[in-house]
Amino acid sequence: MTKAIKLLTALPQAQRERLMELAEEVSFPEDTRIFEAGGTADRFWVIRSGAVHLDTDVTARQRVTVATLGAGDLLGWSWLFPPYAWDFGAVAFSNVRAYQFDGPAVLALCVEDPLLGLSLVRTVAEILAGRLETTRGKLMDQYAIRRRSGLI
């Protein structure tokens, strides 16, 4: 398994300080839907405390959790790429405190400070690669279980 990368601690100090100038402290009570898949992705969060489930619809009335995020984790990356729409939904699994960042303001800062932009995109890419590797491992575990039980 890959090591979880935390956005704020992975950024060089100077870039982290510039980014944090745009941070707003927010909170979400337990069971609050933070965003819906397909909605406009114009912000992101770094979770300070609590847990968030990323989910996806499997039927019109059923959602499945695809990942759980906690303290230090990046919540939301779709603000970086057109069409700026969420790929998953997110719900507070417990009371959540987070730093919220306005996506367009951060993108403008990245244009102003290309070193910050490069550091941010590289770090987000590393986070996503780690999540993909974790998901791949879970799928392989499920495959092995099903194979052992004769389901495949």
Report the amino acid identity of residue 112.
E
pTM of the entire structure? 0.86
Position with higher pLDDT, 144 vs 121: 121
pLDDT tens profile 61-105 = 888 898 999 999 999 999 999 999 999 999 999 999 999 999 999
Q: Which residues pair with 27 in a beta bridge?
A: 97
Tokens of 56: 């996806």
Domain positions in the chain are 12-147
Does the domain made of 12-147 have the CATH classification 2.60.120.10? yes
Calculate the average pLDDT of the chain.
91
Position with higher pLDDT, 149 vs 126: 126
pLDDT tens profile 13-28 = 999 999 999 999 999 9
Average pLDDT over residues 34-41: 97
Report d(CA 95, CA 138) in Å as an integer.
Answer: 26
Q: What are the backbone dihedrals phi and psi of residue 10, each rounded to the nearest 5 degrees, phi first? A: -80, -25
Percentage of the chain modeled with pLDDT above 90: 67
pLDDT of the residue at 120 = 94
pLDDT of the residue at 60 = 81
pLDDT of the residue at 4 = 64
Tell me which residue of 127, 121, 119, 125 sits closest to 3, measured CA to CA.
127
Q: Which residues pair with 102 in a beta bridge?
A: 43
